[in-house]
Structure 1
Amino acid sequence: MSIRKIATTSIFASFAISAQAHADFIGDSRATLGMRNFYFNNDNRDGSAAPTKTEEWAQGFMLDYKSGYTDGTVGFGADALGLMGVTLDSGKGRHFGSTMIPSDSDNSAVDEWSRLGLTGKVKISKTELRYGTLIPKLPILVANDGRLLPQSFEGGQITSSDFKDLTLTGGRIEHATGRASTDQTGLAALGGTHESNQFDFAGGDWKVTKDLTAQYYYANLDNYYTQQFFGLIHTLAIAEGQSLKTDLRYFKTDSSGENSTGTSGYRISGYTKNGDGEIDNRTWSAALVYTLGGHAITAGYQSVSDGSSFTQLNQGSLVDKGAGGTSLYLYTDRLIQSFTRAGERTSFAQYAYDFAALGVPGLKASVIYLSGDNIKTRSGDDQKEWERDISLDYVVQSGALKGVGLGWRNGKSNSEAARDQDQNRVFVSYSIPLL
């Protein structure tokens, strides 16, 4: 074969490989436009401060693009997440705390806000590395999605499922963007006013048997805390449509770096045993979930040690007023309270029903009641609180509105350690596939 023919063959082979790689990257891509219409009403009715009421209504858009991977042993891809919020109704007198809509220079709600997140990704076999915008859902870090737009983080994360029945995860988070903000901040624990830019984590889920999963995670927020999590989840199949799930969780959180020395700016807020803002906490919980047909009954107990409150990432004390808002991997993390104060002991029970069992698919409802006592604060050692939440959801199953979701959340909290609050959230959501 002549040199010219060899060269021509090589060019066409390279073009074919390139075209195949391009086809995998583009052909496996997915894009959706998510829309959420959200009404939020939170009423503080007592306390030493003047009563405040937040009442806002906004429309959110989320353009989520996920590429495929280029062909080959090592695959490359890129994702993009565009978020935009539009204020429909709010006022200076009803916009308080920037919990859903960012504040303008005069503390009124902005008319609109947006942000763009980009993520590069690399995949080898069943191991994936992502760097850029992340929305983690891990026991040691859960991105909050309780308002119009979700909280997001910036950093790198690697996830591997190469080992049978074992999923390993690790990474580093460096920045956060609050659910009511367009700006990145550093990281902190609640009460901390100095930013950290290093949250390292690693852990995994091991499916011991088809019914039993064991979890372990480790996290370190530089100059604030180290945290270990141990979890066991077991599901016992009793009969068809009948099961009992046992969920055990334990968190061990200790001070680290500047928080250990009591350095101002790295101290957490709330009660600590020595009054120095040092993190020292053990939190454990046990929950049983009994399911029978459409019925699900949950009963559980949670105990928080009295060295300090339960602690995870929370940027609410930083300068950016919209940086606050956090979610916790706890059954007690509810609409209003989280029941994680120092010394707190909480009993909780929930009843949920899936109306598909009655021939109404898409309709679900639940009610939960939580009661906490033995709370330690700077003003008392045995304070109490309770909360009752109602949840109702429906997804249209057919017709022109198929896929449209409607939801209502109602919460009422009475607390000796915080202000009494009533809260309502009403939302309509819909997702349109673009690719």
Structure 2
Amino acid sequence: MAWVSAPKRSIDQGFPRQWAAIIALGLASATPALAAGQAEAEGFVEGSSLDLFLRNAFINRDYRDGNQDKREWGQGIVANFESGFTQGTVGFGIDAFAAYGLRLDSTRRRAGAGGIDFFYRDPTTLEVERDVAKVGASVKLRLSNTVLAYGDLRPSLPVLNHDDARLLPESFTGTMLTSTEIEGLEFNAGTFHAQSRKSDEGRDSGGLKGIDVIGASYQFNDALGAALYFSDVDNVVRDNAFKRQYANLNYAMPIASNTLSFDFNGYRTKYDVSGDRNRIWSLAATYETGPHAVTLAYQRSSGDVGFDYGFYQNAGGTGNGGGSIWLANSYWSDFNGKDEKSWQLAYALDFAQYGIPGLKYRVAYVRGSDIDTDLTTNGKEHEFFNQLSYTVQSGAAKDLNIRLRTSALRVSSDAADYNVSGREVRIFIDYPFSVF
């Protein structure tokens, strides 16, 4: 698939910081013929919901080559309130959340891994937070099927995806417009100026300077879908400011009673000051037959630097969300080094057809090569991944999910400045339930 170049009026020329332009775009798409969204508003109270989410999470990383092992264990609870919209042409509502995490185990030596980051460790004293509490809220307006929200948000976009894969989720403060006026099409545009670190309190504990995002996804039919997104990240360290483009194309082809699907994902990044570039893409083919699914994927990184994403700007990161890497070969390692090529073979099994609904297993092997570092142009890494998960299907514990995950990662010594070898274990117990 060819890369689609940015329009002549690119987002670095002010969009979407021009909030009026965002609102106008959404209103322009709100055609009367498709105005069912707000017309069916139940009311502020009648459409409200309160959900609780409990998570007990444990991650242990047993590093090799003399690196200090890391381990964190915590109990988290997140309450999510979503109001309905007031009735009328324009609906008004409020969303809010509260999160609390309690440290159950970790020491000064074992905490502080960027890839775990359950609880913040002070870089000077090395003291680890005993707990973390945070709250957030946003106001929202809806016209037809277009929603404009401002406040503390948790976007899930390929160029700005909040990290919800640890104990507590990240959040961002800013404005987001989401429009679904045309069936199958979702349009998003937003601007954000603060980031709440998942392991620390405070609205801008991540030190974010600014991120602008715009893009859309479209489902052409049951078989074909595509997406295109752009972002402009303004970093505290100006040398790290960059512009990024993302493209996706996915296609599912039925073969008798089976399915063969293809999923392409790609990013193109250019840094503002240095002019360094990176292109990274992956193509995954998955064949599903009955309870079985086999995936073969190839991923390729090229350019002046490797693909960089996530972590926090005040800690030297990009600040664009710890989940902003929608690529096939992303497990413990993301196989995103400079010039890295990687292959994946994976197998998944759903035990529902064997009389155990809710039980699933996935195993994957990924091998990367040609990593360009200060010592070599042929660095290597490989990872063996296993995950067993079970979701309770009924009863008082309905929807409770248990995930057991292990990874064994080996990195060649000449690529040690890119990644580190080790063995990882994750145990997550999630329990979501509705209060009303």
TM range (shorter): 0.7 to 0.9
For the Cα contact (< 8 Å) 1:52–1:96, is it kept in 2? no
CA distance, structure 2, for counterparts of residue 313 and residue 429 of structure 1: 24
Partner of residue 200 from structure 1, selected from 208, 212, 216: 212
- In the TM superposition, residue 306 of structure 1 has moved relative to its aligned partner by 3.2
Aligned position for 1:246? 262
CA distance, structure 2, for counterparts of residue 358 and residue 72 of structure 1: 51
Compared CA separation, residues 74 and 318, structure 1 to 2 (3 A): same
1:33-432 superposed matches below 5 A: 33-46=52-65, 50-97=66-113, 99-103=117-121, 106-185=125-204, 197-222=209-234, 223=238, 224-240=241-257, 242-256=258-272, 259-260=273-274, 278-315=275-312, 318=315, 325-334=322-331, 336-416=332-412, 417=415, 418-432=419-433
CA distance, structure 2, for counterparts of residue 207 and residue 56 of structure 1: 40
Q: Deviations over 1:231-267 (max 9, x none)?
A: 1111112233x111111122221122xx33xxxxxxx
- In the TM superposition, residue 332 of structure 1 has moved relative to its aligned partner by 1.7
- In the TM superposition, residue 211 of structure 1 has moved relative to its aligned partner by 1.0
CA distance, structure 1, for counterparts of residue 180 and residue 316 of structure 2: 39
CA distance, structure 2, for counterparts of residue 221 and residue 333 of structure 1: 22
The letter of the residue matching 1:227 is: R
Aligned position for 2:21? none
CA distance, structure 2, for counterparts of residue 304 and residue 117 of structure 1: 37
- In the TM superposition, residue 399 of structure 1 has moved relative to its aligned partner by 3.2
- In the TM superposition, residue 317 of structure 1 has moved relative to its aligned partner by 5.8
Compared CA separation, residues 186 and 342, structure 1 to 2 (3 A): farther
CA distance, structure 2, for counterparts of residue 183 and residue 53 of structure 1: 28
Residue 27 of structure 1 pairs with residue 54 of structure 2: no
Identity of aligned residues (%): 31
The letter of the residue matching 1:310 is: F
CA distance, structure 2, for counterparts of residue 28 and residue 414 of structure 1: 51
Per the normalisation by structure 1, the TM-score is 0.83
CA distance, structure 1, for counterparts of residue 212 and residue 321 of structure 2: 20
Aligned position for 1:265? none
For the Cα contact (< 8 Å) 1:314–1:326, is it kept in 2? no
CA distance, structure 2, for counterparts of residue 252 and residue 323 of structure 1: 15
The letter of the residue matching 2:408 is: K
The letter of the residue matching 1:280 is: R
Aligned position for 1:273? none
Instruction: State the secondary structure of the residue aligned to 1:237.
Output: strand
After superposing the two structures, state which structure 1 stretch, 355-364 or 176-185, moved more.
176-185
CA distance, structure 2, for counterparts of residue 377 and residue 31 of structure 1: 49
For the Cα contact (< 8 Å) 1:301–1:346, is it kept in 2? yes
Instruction: State the secondary structure of the residue aligned to 1:357.
Output: helix
Instruction: State the secondary structure of the residue aligned to 2:348.
Output: strand
Compared CA separation, residues 295 and 316, structure 1 to 2 (3 A): farther
Per the normalisation by structure 2, the TM-score is 0.83
The letter of the residue matching 1:236 is: M
CA distance, structure 1, for counterparts of residue 411 and residue 276 of structure 2: 23
CA distance, structure 1, for counterparts of residue 109 and residue 370 of structure 2: 36
CA distance, structure 1, for counterparts of residue 324 and residue 166 of structure 2: 11
For the Cα contact (< 8 Å) 2:161–2:321, is it kept in 1? no
- In the TM superposition, residue 137 of structure 1 has moved relative to its aligned partner by 1.6
For the Cα contact (< 8 Å) 1:135–1:143, is it kept in 2? yes
The letter of the residue matching 2:119 is: I
Aligned position for 1:10? none
- In the TM superposition, residue 422 of structure 1 has moved relative to its aligned partner by 0.9
For the Cα contact (< 8 Å) 1:169–1:202, is it kept in 2? yes
CA distance, structure 1, for counterparts of residue 324 and residue 330 of structure 2: 7
Aligned position for 1:190? none
**Greater Rg, structure 1 or structure 2?**
1
Compared CA separation, residues 39 and 250, structure 1 to 2 (3 A): closer
The letter of the residue matching 1:218 is: F
CA distance, structure 2, for counterparts of residue 27 and residue 114 of structure 1: 29
- In the TM superposition, residue 400 of structure 1 has moved relative to its aligned partner by 3.4
